[in-house]
Amino acid sequence: METVNDMEMDSLDRSLVQALVIDGRAAFSRIAEVLEVSDQTVVRRYRRLRSTGLIRVVGLPLGSRVGLFESWLRVQCAPDAALPVAEALARRPDIAWVTLNSGGTEVHCMTRARTRQDRDALLLDKLPRTRRVTGISAHTILRKFFGGPDSWAGTDVLRPDQIAALERPPAAPAPDAPYVLDAAELALLAVLGRDGRAGYPELARATGLAESTARRRLERLRELGAVFFDVEFVPALFGYEAEATLVLTVPPARLAQVGAALAGHREIAFAAAVTGAASLMAVAVCRDTNALYTYLTERIGAVEGVGHVEVIPSLLSVKRAGMLVEDGRLVDPPPAP
């Protein structure tokens, strides 16, 4: 079997990944037309990338639109317990991202709980009773500046005209009240969370709807901005070896300005205002540690309003956008209980 290190992504593979980042459910025929290759070539390349665990397209609810309770957790553990705790968290369906950080003694994760009670049960009951967990800090996501439906610039290989040909119209403005997903839509998302390109016959079977109804439901969710499609991959495939969480102290009057500035940096894969002593957290992805140093000193250092910055290296990705990471490959998460 080929290992991840044996796999090389050529320019067409990278172009295909960016096309999927722009629209994860774009028809293969449309992608082939934009990339100026045959339909069969696109299908063959996609199947190879997916079957080897190099990329996954997943459909996810946008937490701010559907009322999810999203938090960033920092879980301190005894050195020999951090990886087992990270793996246990990764098996939970309400945990979207899990990384091992800070010398291997700290686990970072993102929760996406449907109810406040579910979130509090994890924070107040399950985690505190976990053996060898020595500390927990929970930070509510107040406002996302970058992430989710936004496209990380590290995949920037397509021409502007190709990007324009694949872009979808923007979602409708967010309503005041969150959109409440019904049972059929929850079932639809359960399938898309494993395979964002699942066909309409499969979505119809899972939801009990007619294929045409399943198609309309999904399109409506996309138009409302309640669902987006994420293309997950290990950044090292694109030559990015250094990932780090940045925790920034920013005065409230400057928070929106600093968040917008970070959202415009190609090094940033995620940025959000959070509760806690520091008011902003972000995930930076750079070519190497030297590039990370340059980013901190020349880009972050030039943003007016940034005070203290804590840099926490990511040592190991355990889960990315709901997909488990094993030996550098993306694999299906366990079935939800």
Tens digits of residue pLDDT in 93-107: 888 899 999 788 899
Residue 335: the pLDDT is 62
Mean pLDDT value across residues 164-192: 89
Give the pLDDT band of residue 169 (cuts 50, 70, 90): confident
Whether 4 has a pLDDT exceeding 70, the answer reads no
Give the pLDDT band of residue 152 (cuts 50, 70, 90): confident
Residue 222: the pLDDT is 94
Residue 332: the pLDDT is 78
What is the rounded CA–CA span in Å between residue 161 and residue 241?
A: 29
Residue 176: the pLDDT is 76
Whether 16 has a pLDDT exceeding 90, the answer reads yes
Residue 9: the pLDDT is 80
Q: Which long-range contacts (CB under 8 A, 24 or more apart) does 293-300 make?
A: 295/265, 295/267, 299/265, 299/267, 300/246, 300/248
Residue 334: the pLDDT is 65
Mean pLDDT value across residues 224-244: 88
Mean pLDDT value across residues 100-121: 85
Give the pLDDT band of residue 3 (cuts 50, 70, 90): very low
Mean pLDDT value across residues 217-235: 91
Mean pLDDT value across residues 274-290: 94
Residue 102: the pLDDT is 79
Whether 73 has a pLDDT exceeding 70, the answer reads yes
Whether 184 has a pLDDT exceeding 80, the answer reads yes
Neighbours of 123 (CB within 10 A): 16
Give the pLDDT band of residue 117 (cuts 50, 70, 90): confident
Nearest to 330 by CA among 110, 22, 4: 4
Residue 221: the pLDDT is 95
Amino acid at position 191, single letter: V
Between 314 and 125, residue with greater pLDDT? 314
Residue 336: the pLDDT is 54
Mean pLDDT for the chain overall: 89
Give the pLDDT band of residue 257 (cuts 50, 70, 90): very high
Mean pLDDT value across residues 158-166: 94
The β-bridge relationship of strands 227-233 and 95-101 is: unpaired
What is the rounded CA–CA span in Å between residue 333 and residue 92?
A: 9
* Of 50-64, 89-103, 204-218, highest mean pLDDT: 204-218
Residues near 48 by Cβ (< 8 Å), separated by ≥ 6? Answer: none
Query: pLDDT above 70 covers what percent of the chain?
Result: 95
Mean pLDDT value across residues 277-299: 95
